[in-house]
Amino acid sequence: MKLENVERKAYELLQKFELKTIPIDVKSIAKRLGISIKAEPLKGDISGVLYIDNNKTIIGLNDNHSDTRHRFTIAHEIGHFVLHEGEQIHVDRNFRGYFRNSLSSQAIDYEEIEASTFTAALLMPGEVLKKAIFKDGIDLESDDNIQELANKFNVSQQALLIRLGKLSLY
């Protein structure tokens, strides 16, 4: 799928659930999609997992990670759920799982690139981000302003800078 279409899927989901205020409530999106969220200490560098078994869908979060990381992971796993329906990465009977860890976060696999693109569009919708910058006259050369904007969207500074770059705003 082209990355523009991936972004469109994220925007369509925001419109479907009429989510217009930031920070985007990813837990509400998961709930509306019928996805449960469970936080537990996970081994190694795993941030989260999407577990699909018959009619049960669960996002497992690493309890040891920050709220910002949880939001990113939930959005990322929702991306897999929306974009990769029917595709199986790990098969054991009727089980499909996606794991988010340091390797997957490098976005080497195209499905990971798609899920990360979806995540950025969901958490930082392009038009909403542009309005926040131009309406408030935010100087993107200021580290303090970048941090303030990241806080507004409840994302990491790194995620925001990557998104700004992809949108040719930075």
Are 89 and 9 within one domain? yes
Mark whether 77 and 149 lie in a shared domain: no
Q: Kindly report, residue by residue over 6-65, the tens digit of the pLDDT.
A: 999 999 999 999 998 999 999 999 999 999 999 999 887 788 888 887 778 899 899 999
Q: What is the pLDDT of residues 112-157, one digit of tens each?
A: 899 999 999 999 999 999 999 998 889 999 999 999 999 999 999 9
| 34, 57 contact by CB (below 8 A) | yes
Percentage of residues in the chain having pLDDT higher than 70 = 86
Domain count, the chain: 2
Structure pTM? 0.86
Highest mean pLDDT among 48-57, 75-84, 102-111: 75-84
Alpha helix (H) ranges present in 17-156? 26-32, 67-83, 110-123, 126-135, 143-153
Between 1-5, 90-94, 165-169, the lowest mean confidence (pLDDT) is in: 90-94
Average pLDDT over residues 77-92: 68
Closest CA to 60 of 44, 45, 80, 46: 46
Q: What is the per-residue pLDDT for 102?
A: 52
CATH number of residue 111's parent domain: 1.10.10.2910
Indicate if 88 and 147 belong to the same structural domain: no
Q: Are residues 55 and 81 in the same domain?
A: yes
Domain limits at 69? 3-123
